[in-house]
A and B are shown apart, each in its own frame.
Chain A
Amino acid sequence: MDTFYYLIQNMLPIAIPLLLVALGGMFSERSGVINIALEGIMLFGAFFGCLFVFFTQNSNVNPQIILLLGMIVAAIAGLMYSMLLSFAAVNMKADQTITGTALNMLIPAAILLFAKMKFNSDGITTDMNFYIKEVPILGKIPVLGELFFQKTYLTVYIGFLFLTITTIVFYKTKFGLRLRACGEHPQAADSVGINVYKMRHCGVGLSGILGGIGGFFYSVGVMDGNISGHTGVAGFGFLALAVMIFGQWKPIKIMFAALFFAFLRTLAYSVALIPFLNSLNINQTYYKMLPYVATMVVLIFTSGKSRAPKAEGIPFDKSK
Chain B
Amino acid sequence: MLNNLFSPKRTSKESSAFTAALLAIALGLIFGFIVMLIASPANSLSGVYMMIFGGFKRLGDVFYFATPILMTGLSVGFAFKMGLFNIGASGQYTMGMFFALYVGFMWKMPSSIHWIACIIAGMIGGLIWGFIPGILKALLNVNEVIASIMLNYIGMYLVDMLIQGNATMYISAKTRTSYLPASAQIPSLGVTNSNVNVSIIIAIGVAIILYVVLKKTTFGYELKATGFNKHASHYAGINYKRNTILTMVIAGGLAGLGGAFAILAPSAIPGSSMTYEPISVIAASGFNGIAVALLGNSSPIGIIFSALFISHIQRGGTLASLYGYKPEIIDVVVAVIIYFSAFAMIMNATVGKFLKKRYRKNHEQSSAGAVISTNKDIKKENKEA
Contacts and interface: CB of A to CB of B under 8 A. Distances in A.
Interface string A283-320: 10110110011011001100110100000000000000
B146 A238 contact: yes
Nearest to A302: B142
B143 A303 contact: yes
Given A105-B287, A106-B332, A288-B157, A92 B339 contact: no
B20 to A, nearest CB: 12
Interface in A94-131: 94-95, 97-99, 101-103, 105-106, 108-110, 112-113, 116-117
Interface string B119-162: 00000000000000000100011110111011101100110110
Given A102-B338, A106-B332, A235-B149, A92 B141 contact: no
B154 A289 contact: yes
A196 interface: no
Contacts of A94: 342-343, 346
Nearest to A103: B339
A189 B153 CA distance: 39
A36 interface: yes
Contact of B339 (A88, A108, A288): A88
Nearest to A96: B342
B263 interface: no
A117 B321 CA distance: 12
A285 B346 CA distance: 46
Nearest to B340: A102
A304 B332 contact: no
Interface residues of A, number: 44
Contacts of B290: 98, 101, 105
Interface in A203-223: none
Contact of A235 (B39, B153, B342): B153
A98 to B, nearest CB: 4
Contact of B157 (A36, A98, A289): A289
Contacts of B291: 105
B339 A99 contact: yes
A299 B157 contact: no
Contact of B326 (A88, A116, A235, A241): A116
A184 B33 CA distance: 42
A140 interface: no
A113 B154 contact: no
Interface in B263-316: 281, 287, 290-291, 294
Nearest to B330: A109
Interface in B161-186: 161, 165
Max count, chain A CB within 10 A of own CB: residue among B145, B146, B338: B146
30 contacts: A88-B339, A88-B343, A93-B343, A93-B346, A95-B342, A103-B339, A105-B334, A106-B332, A106-B336, A106-B339, A109-B329, A112-B331, A113-B328, A113-B329, A113-B332, A116-B326, A231-B281, A241-B146, A245-B146, A283-B161, A285-B160, A285-B161, A286-B161, A292-B157, A293-B154, A296-B147, A299-B136, A300-B140, A303-B136, A306-B141
Given A241-B146, A245-B146, A303-B141, 14 more contacts: A84-B339, A97-B85, A105-B291, A106-B335, A109-B335, A116-B326, A117-B39, A117-B326, A242-B146, A242-B150, A245-B143, A295-B146, A296-B136, A303-B142
